[in-house]
Amino acid sequence: METQDMLELAKRIVRAGPICDECLGRAFARRGHGLTNRARGQALRTVLSMLGTEGKPGTCWVCGGLFDRVKDWAKRAASAASEYEFSTYLFGVKLTPRLAEMERFFQDRFPSDA
């Protein structure tokens, strides 16, 4: 995907509705090796702002604000596990049907090879 195509896709995504940096960055996960999705989304949002495209305020329509609560969940998990001794920890998630459908919709509406 060329840079201009990537920026056009990012514009379409941002114009579709409120979207968090995590979800915006996930759309371009194969770009920016070593960056987190949040950093990738912030970088895209900055460039788009410089080009005159602003996002809509509000709760992310893709994840419903879930990524805003990840640190709280991590703290709760660490607290719950504090009474156990371990050297590794495996964390998994099970998507709700609504979240799985939103993810499919997002990927179908904004396909990216980036």
Q: Give 72-111 pLDDT, tens digit per residue.
A: 988 998 899 999 998 888 878 888 999 999 989 999 999 8
Average pLDDT, the chain: 91
pTM score > 0.85 for this model?
A: no
Contacts for 1 with CB less than 8 Å, ≥ 6 apart: 9, 112, 113, 114
Q: Which amino acid is at 71?
A: K
End-to-end CA distance of the chain: 6
Q: Give 9-41 pLDDT, tens digit per residue.
A: 999 999 999 999 999 999 998 888 899 999 999
In this prediction, residue 114 has a pLDDT band, given cuts at 50, 70 and 90, of low
Residue 33: per-residue pLDDT: 85
In this prediction, residue 44 has a pLDDT band, given cuts at 50, 70 and 90, of very high
